Each structure stands twice: as C-alpha cells, then as structure tokens.
C-alpha cells in the first residue's frame, strides 16, 4: 500500500513547523498566525498582507490561479486554467542525475518527508512586465541538492518539465522544443531564497501553476521558475534552456530582473501588478538586491542578461 505524505507527517504538525517569511526574507511569523486559520486553506489575502512591505499586497487566489504563463497548456494567460484539468500530478517522481554521488529517482512524497516545508510570500515578476505577490509553500532547493551530494565539478543545475502531450495540449504544438528546460548556476541554486514550491495559499499546487512541484527563483523573471519538474541534472557546463535556445536575442540565461536592461520589444523599467491600475517602477533583482547582488558582483549585467 502506498503511504501518503499526510500519513508520514500529521497535517497539524506540518503546519506548526512552517515559517512565514516576508519578501525581505527576515521575519518568522508563526506566532501571529494560528494553525487553525491555515488549516482551513484560507485564501483571504488579508491573512498575508499584514506581513508585506508597505507598497505590496498579496494577490488573490483567483488572480494567481487564472492568469498564468504555462505554454504546455496554451499560450494565452487563461489557457492554463482552462486546459489543465486532465493533467495528473499524482503519483510523481523526480530523477536526479549527472555529476552527483547519489543519482536517484525518488518519489515526491518521500522527498517531502525529508525536507522542511515553509511558507514564503514572494514577488513574481514576469518578463512581459506584469507581476504578482504569491504566498508559496515549499522547501529550499538546497535541501534536495544536499541529498544528491554533487561532485565538486558540478557548476550548474538543469531542470526538465514533464512531457505528456496527451495531458498537456500545448505540447502538441511546436511553440517550444519540448520538454521545457531551465537552469541555474550552483550558487544560485543553493541560495536560501531559491525554493521548490509544492503549494500556494495553503493548497497543494494547482495544475495551472506547476503541479506538483515547481521552481521559484524570486529575483529572476518568471520563465526561470520552471514548472512540473521531473528531472534535475548536475552539469559542469552551462545548460541549454528553452527560451534562450528559442530566442537568445530576447531571453538570456540569467534572466535577472533588471529595470535598466529592456526587452527588445518593451521596457522593463515599469511593471503592471495584476489587480492594480497604476504601473509600478521595477525593482532591481525584483526587490531582493540585498540578498543576491553579491552573486553577480563581477558580472556585466548588460551582457549577461
């Protein structure tokens, strides 16, 4: 009989060990939010808004789950919500291979039994100059990396999305060379801000948002945060990534949010927060400059965009 993650860790215990982390990556706030409220999977933004910076507020559950980029289900923002009903995120396994001491294919439920689940409220900035603030649930990618024990020669991590055209109708079209691929430098992958998210707003991850597990790298444009991950590879060379391969003059490997480097077809100096009318000024590294700027101190951010 298959043992469910909820049977390995009682849900009440799971909630009690989670931390609410603000966009500034500073405050542990469990003491001010009762587990009983969270256990109801509350989608009221006010529960999270009280922990945000003055100029931020959390987007609603409806906004987050009905306005998405997920080309595997279609190119329109509404397509993922409308076309992902047949996708089956359970059971799920992840293959870990490449330059590691412990290559493995591991069931997601087993992964979740070994890591610390946290709640983090992060800004998400998309390259099309729109943004959201999302309360994610997940764990630091570094925890999974440590399980695999990368070799010293491993300098990059590549991620691969599942390929199931029978469940993901967008994959039947040649929009992208499927399956979708993304990558990070090892130091980016090990940064405490980088998480593998398995839920949002207290719910398991919806299909349209990348069920059952997606990457979240909050200082980079949204296309770096690859969804529905089935393989993680450790490499000694910079890996191919989907959008950089498709249009390298528009999408670079790093994809750091940078208001001074425009997309060839539009400015990145401002952004439209979903649910707001007035545009906002784009923040360097999406507002996480203090935490990540040191990773790029010797990098020409105009050349390595």
Cβ within 8 Å of residue 197, ≥6 positions away: 136, 137, 138, 205, 210, 213, 214, 215, 216
SS3 string of 97-161?
EECECCCEEEEHHHHHCCCCCEEEEEEEECCCCEEEEEEEEEEEHHHHHHHHCECCCCCEEEEEE
CATH of the domain at 49: 3.90.420.10
pLDDT at 16 over 60: no
**Is 301 inside any structural domain?**
no
Mean pLDDT of 58-65: 96
Rounded to whole angstroms, the Cα distance separating 305 from 299 reads: 10
Q: Are 197 and 229 in contact (CB under 8 A)?
A: no
**Is 224 inside any structural domain?**
yes
pLDDT at residue number 82: 98
pLDDT at residue number 31: 29
> Could you give the percent of the chain with pLDDT greater than 70?
86
pTM of the model: 0.88
Mean pLDDT of 132-158: 97
What's the number of domains the chain is made of? 1
pLDDT at residue number 46: 81
pLDDT at residue number 108: 97
Which segments of the chain does DSSP mark as H helices, in order? 5-8, 11-16, 35-39, 46-49, 61-66, 79-83, 108-112, 141-148, 186-190, 242-246, 289-292
pLDDT at 99 over 80: yes
**Is 176 inside any structural domain?**
yes
pLDDT at 284 over 70: yes
**Is 304 inside any structural domain?**
no
pLDDT at 21 over 90: no
pLDDT at residue number 49: 80
pLDDT at residue number 29: 33
pLDDT at residue number 163: 98
Q: Which DSSP letter does residue 2 get?
A: P
pLDDT at 37 over 60: no
Q: Mean pLDDT across the chain, nearest whole number?
A: 88
pLDDT at 27 over 60: no
Range of lowest pLDDT (24-38, 88-102, 194-208): 24-38
**Is 79 inside any structural domain?**
yes
pLDDT at residue number 41: 58
pLDDT at 47 over 70: yes
pLDDT tens column, 174-212: 989 999 999 999 999 999 999 999 999 999 999 999 999
**Is 291 inside any structural domain?**
yes
Mean pLDDT of 11-24: 40
| 253: containing domain | 5-9+16-296
Mean pLDDT of 65-78: 97
Rounded to whole angstroms, the Cα distance separating 119 from 202 reads: 8
Mean pLDDT of 224-249: 97
**Is 302 inside any structural domain?**
no
pLDDT at 64 over 70: yes
Give the pairing type, strands 20-21 and 118-125. parallel
């Amino acid at each position: 009989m298959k043992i469910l993650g909820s049977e390995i860790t009682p849900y009440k215990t799971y909630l009690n060990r989670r931390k609410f982390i603000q966009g500034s990556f500073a405050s542990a706030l469990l003491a001010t939010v009762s587990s009983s409220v969270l256990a109801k999977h509350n989608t009221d933004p006010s529960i999270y808004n009280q922990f945000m910076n003055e100029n931020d507020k959390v987007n609603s559950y409806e906004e987050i789950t009905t306005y998405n980029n997920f080309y595997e289900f279609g190119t329109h923002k509404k397509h993922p919500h409308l076309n992902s009903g047949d996708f089956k995120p359970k059971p799920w396994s992840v293959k870990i291979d490449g330059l590691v001491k412990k290559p493995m294919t591991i069931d997601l439920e087993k992964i979740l039994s070994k890591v610390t689940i946290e709640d983090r409220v992060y800004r998400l900035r998309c390259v099309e100059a729109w943004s959201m603030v999302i309360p994610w649930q997940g764990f630091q990618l570094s925890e999974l990396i440590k399980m695999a024990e990368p070799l010293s020669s491993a300098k990059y991590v590549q991620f691969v999305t599942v390929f199931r055209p029978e469940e993901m109708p967008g994959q039947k079209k040649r929009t992208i060379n499927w399956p979708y691929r993304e990558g990070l430098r090892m130091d980016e992958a090990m940064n405490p801000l980088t998480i593998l998210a398995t839920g949002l707003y207290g719910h398991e991850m919806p299909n349209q948002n990348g069920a059952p597990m997606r990457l979240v790298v909050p200082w980079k444009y949204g296309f770096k945060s690859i969804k529905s991950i089935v393989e993680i590879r450790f490499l000694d060379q910079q890996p191919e990534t989907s959008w950089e391969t498709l249009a390298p003059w528009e999408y670079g490997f790093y994809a750091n949010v940078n208001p001074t480097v425009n997309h060839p077809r539009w400015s990145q100096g401002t952004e439209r927060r979903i649910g707001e009318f007035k545009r906002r000024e784009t923040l360097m590294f999406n507002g996480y400059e203090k935490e990540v700027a040191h990773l790029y101190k010797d990098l020409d951010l105009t050349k390595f965009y």
